[in-house]
Amino acid sequence: MSERKEEPRKRDINNRTFSFACRIVLLYQHLAKQRYAAEVLGKQVLRSGTAIGANLEEAQAGQSRADFVSKCNIALKEARETHYWLRLLKETKIVSAEKIGNLLGEANEIVAILTSIVKKTRTST
């Protein structure tokens, strides 16, 4: 019965990270048209921001609990890295706070969700 309750949550984080990746691609398309620094940072955020959902998809096919946790942990690392790049884009004013604020907030929430998933999966028996 608890598996049925968790299933929508799994879909939710997968959908959220896919939607987040789509928004990151759009951000990159915008940054690629700008100065060199914006393009370079754009590539960094593109790589890490799209890797989050990809690693979660791999986690769903994990061969063991340890494999699942490992892939979720990689997704968490990518989410934290993405949050860093987004903060850097904001603080250097390459992208305005108004334009990047929602992405930063979503990145922060994804980090929190993935942290919870990793911690709960590691401690559950």
Domains of the chain: 2-123 (1.20.1440.60)
Q: Residues 39-80: pLDDT tens digits?
A: 899 999 999 999 999 999 999 998 999 999 999 999 999 999
pTM of the model: 0.83
- The tokens of 109 are what? 């929430």
Q: Given this model, what pLDDT does residue 2 score?
A: 37
Q: Residues 73-120: pLDDT tens digits?
A: 999 999 999 999 999 999 999 999 999 999 999 999 999 999 999 999
Q: How far, in Å, CA of 22 to CA of 60, rounded?
A: 20
Residue 87, classified by CB atoms within 10 Å of its CB into exposed (0-12), middle (13-18) or buried (19+), is middle
